[in-house]
Amino acid sequence: MLELLKNLASWLTSPAQWSGPEGIATRVLEHLEYSVLATLAAAVIALPIGLLIGHTGRGAFLAVNLSSFGRALPTVGLVTLVFLAGGLSVWPVYVSLVALAVPVIITNTYAGMAAVDPEVKDAAKGVGLRGRQILWQVELPLALPLIMTGVRLATVQVVATATIAAYVSFGGLGRYVFDGLAQRDLVQVLGGAALVAVLAVAADLALGGLTRLLFRGRPAAAR
């Protein structure tokens, strides 16, 4: 056990391991590229849907249940399916990561919108705000903390799952996990897994910091 940890430490710290096209630095960048692009794409798809459902109150049942269904989709199965349909490209990776992130963001956005006090909305209507103004100036700011939580959750899940890129021959930190397993190289597997964990935690902290920065002026209860 001690031997293993020692090997792991030297794997993680050796300069040779960090450089080159198969080095840790490159793999981390690849991993971030998949994660960031997939989460952004998911946000672009999911935020409008969540806001619309939350604002109108229509289609919530369908959206929330479809989202639950989406969460139950096995990611590796989806990757294989898209791979077989579309061939060897990076698309299967993005499709499955986006499919993983969209439900989380939709349900959290909807939940944030639904949690806005109806009396506040009534008051906004009372002072003469129109639907669109209520959405942008009242509901969205109040729902933002929960929406951000959704984005944050989705990001962490995507970072942790982006290892599947390696399943269809692409890079990222999953390369170490898959190659290590295939070659019975436990140190490589552990190293890859540790880096994924660190990256996921770092992404979570970064987004948490960003959220706090955004809501600095607000009372603690509304954060």
Partner 1 sequence: MNRRTVLTALLAGASAPLLASCSSGITSLKGDGAGGDSGNSSGGLTIGTANFTENQILGYLYAGVLNAAGVKTTVKPNLGSREIVVPALRSGDIDLLPEYQGSLLLYLDKKATETEAGAMQNALATVVPDGLEVLPYAAAEDRDSFAVTQETADRYGLKTLADLRKVNGKLVFGAAAEMKKRVVGVVGLKDQYGVEFKEFKALDSSGPLVKGALKKGDIDVANVFTTDVDIVENGWVLLADPKNLIPAQHIVPLIASRKADSKVRKALARLGNTLTTPQLTELNRLVDKEKRDPDRVADAWLKKHKLG
E strand spans, 45-191: none
Q: How far is the CB of 181 from partner 1 (least distance, A)?
A: 8
- The two structure tokens encoding residue 106: 């939709």
Tell which positions 92-131 bind partner 1, by CB under 8 A.
none
Tell which positions 30-69 bind partner 1, by CB under 8 A.
none
140 binds partner 1 (CB under 8 A): no
Nearest to 12 by CA among 169, 181, 196: 196
Length of the chain: 223
Helices vs strands, H then E, count in the chain: 11, 0
**Based on CB atoms, which residue is closest to partner 1, 55 or 175?**
175
Which listed range, 48-56, 126-134, 163-171, 205-213, lies at the site for partner 1 (CB under 8 A)? 163-171
Q: How far is the CB of 187 from partner 1 (least distance, A)?
A: 14
Nearest to 75 by CA among 184, 162, 190: 162
Which residue in 51, 166, 173, 200 binds partner 1 (CB under 8 A)?
166
Q: How far is the CB of 170 from partner 1 (least distance, A)?
A: 9
182 binds partner 1 (CB under 8 A): yes
181 binds partner 1 (CB under 8 A): yes
Please state, in angstroms and rounded to a whole number, the distance separating the CA atoms of residues 160 and 180. Answer: 17
183 binds partner 1 (CB under 8 A): yes
Asked whether 76 and 164 are in contact (CB, 8 A), the reply is yes
- The two structure tokens encoding residue 154: 């989705």
16 binds partner 1 (CB under 8 A): no
